[in-house]
């Protein structure tokens, strides 16, 4: 299989994370052909950290040199870059959300139908999600009765995201519902089926800053789904659970990467192969990049589709507009 050329727009946390994964773990799948960021300081940092890597002078230069364009810039820029990449005949991997405005996201989804484009939800390549799927198929839950999603943060943005607070802690583009809960909504669609929002609440107690608490009720077919998110309610930087229960038992995903099953003694038992997110992430991103290469070659892949990303964004924005 040919190695595909990956161009990256955005040298922030996500851009550098996938860059490192490509260089350190996926050299047999992708070759980074160039990276660009509007910040001169960011470009200088990347040039110093990755000698020999092409730091391009413009988005157009990155697009011209790549087979697949990875868009890791802030959400307000996603659609312009995605349209430019598709117009140039490139495959596109875009960070979520698709756009800041949900109407623009819907219009783009219609435009992009049939194109080589996917959205970067790494749970599509998660080993822990594979384990949850296996448990479900083996009847560990039975017919699901309830699904509960919870996410809590000591502060927002999380400690490692503080440099991006200028947009990540603003209601227009940021907040933990878009940044974190969206991943668990994607997981819900993959394992429980299509869902719709029934009721929501979002608290914005600090003017000009993103939400500090949300709660919502959804339904995936006949399955009731509850969503809770809050800031300042845990001492952990980031704590989350996705818990599915039924007559035969319960399973959950904890802290991004730990698949657990409820034992007969009432204690949660991790999968024998479970590993913390810090160890799992590079392995998951390697799988994600292999799927990106497959998409670029026009082959089957398991990446998140634009339609899946749009359904997630519909619910996310529905929650955020229910502010009180």
Please tell me the chain's helix, strand, coil percentages from 3-state DSSP, rounded to the nearest 5: 40, 25, 35
CATH 3.40.50.720 residue ranges of the chain are: 4-122+282-304
Mean pLDDT throughout 27-39?
Answer: 96
pLDDT at 1: 64
Q: Where are the alpha helices (DSSP H) in the chain?
A: 13-25, 40-49, 59-65, 78-87, 102-111, 127-137, 165-168, 176, 182-192, 277-296, 306-320
Is the distance from CB of 186 to CB of 121 less than 8 angstroms?
A: yes
How does residue 314 score in pLDDT terms, banded at 50, 70 and 90? Answer: very high
Helices 277-296/127-137 angle, 10° precision: 90
pLDDT at 61: 98
Q: pLDDT by residue (tens digit) across 44-94? A: 999 999 999 999 999 999 999 999 999 999 999 999 999 999 999 999 999
- Is the alpha carbon torsion for 121, 127, 132, 136 positive or negative? positive
Domain at 4-122+282-304: CATH code: 3.40.50.720
pLDDT at 163: 87
The Cα-based distances of 27 to 21, 30, 210, 289 in angstroms read: 9, 5, 38, 10
pLDDT at 323: 79
How does residue 2 score in pLDDT terms, banded at 50, 70 and 90? Answer: confident
Q: pLDDT by residue (tens digit) across 4-25? A: 999 999 999 999 999 999 999 9
Q: pLDDT by residue (tens digit) across 121-137? A: 999 999 999 999 999 99
pLDDT of 154 over the 70 cut: yes
pLDDT of 30 over the 90 cut: yes
How does residue 324 score in pLDDT terms, banded at 50, 70 and 90? Answer: low
pLDDT of 114 over the 90 cut: yes
Distance CA 242, CA 204 (A): 24
Distance CA 167, CA 38 (A): 15
CATH class of 124-280+311-320: alpha beta
Q: pLDDT by residue (tens digit) across 265-307? A: 999 999 999 999 999 999 999 999 999 999 999 999 999 999 9
What rounded mean pLDDT belongs to the chain? Answer: 96
Q: pLDDT by residue (tens digit) across 194-220? A: 999 999 999 999 999 999 999 999 999
CATH 3.30.360.10 residue ranges of the chain are: 124-280+311-320
Distance CA 232, CA 230 (A): 7
Q: Tokens representing 89?
A: 């005949």
């Amino acid at each position: 299989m040919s190695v595909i050329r990956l161009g990256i727009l955005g040298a922030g946390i996500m851009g550098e994370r996938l860059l490192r994964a490509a260089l350190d773990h996926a050299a047999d799948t992708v070759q980074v052909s160039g990276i660009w960021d509007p910040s001169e300081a960011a470009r200088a940092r990347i040039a110093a950290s990755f000698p020999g890597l092409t730091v391009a002078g413009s988005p157009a230069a990155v697009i011209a040199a790549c087979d697949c364009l990875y868009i890791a810039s802030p959400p307000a820029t996603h659609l312009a870059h995605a349209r430019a990449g598709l117009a140039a005949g490139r495959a596109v991997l875009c960070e979520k959300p698709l756009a800041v405005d949900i109407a623009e996201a819907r219009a783009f989804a219609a435009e992009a139908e049939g194109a080589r484009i996917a959205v970067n939800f790494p749970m599509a390549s998660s080993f822990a999600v594979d384990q949850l799927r296996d448990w479900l198929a083996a009847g560990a839950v039975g017919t699901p009765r309830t699904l509960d999603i919870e996410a809590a943060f000591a502060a927002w943005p999380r400690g490692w995201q503080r440099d991006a607070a200028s947009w990540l802690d603003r209601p227009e583009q940021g907040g933990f519902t878009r940044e974190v809960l969206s991943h668990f909504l994607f997981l819900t669609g993959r394992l429980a089926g299509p869902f719709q929002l029934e009721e929501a609440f979002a608290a914005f107690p600090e003017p000009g800053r993103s939400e500090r608490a949300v709660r919502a009720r959804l339904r995936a077919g006949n399955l009731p789904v509850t969503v809770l998110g809050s800031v300042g309610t845990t001492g952990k930087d980031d704590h989350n659970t996705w818990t599915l229960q039924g007559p035969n038992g319960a399973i959950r995903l904890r802290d991004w990467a730990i698949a657990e099953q409820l034992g007969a003694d009432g204690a949660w038992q991790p999968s024998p192969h479970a590993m913390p997110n810090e160890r799992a992430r590079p392995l998951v991103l390697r799988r994600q990049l292999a799927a990106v290469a497959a998409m670029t070659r026009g082959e089957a892949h398991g990446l998140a589709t634009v339609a899946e990303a749009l359904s997630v964004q519909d619910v996310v924005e529905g929650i955020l507009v229910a502010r009180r």
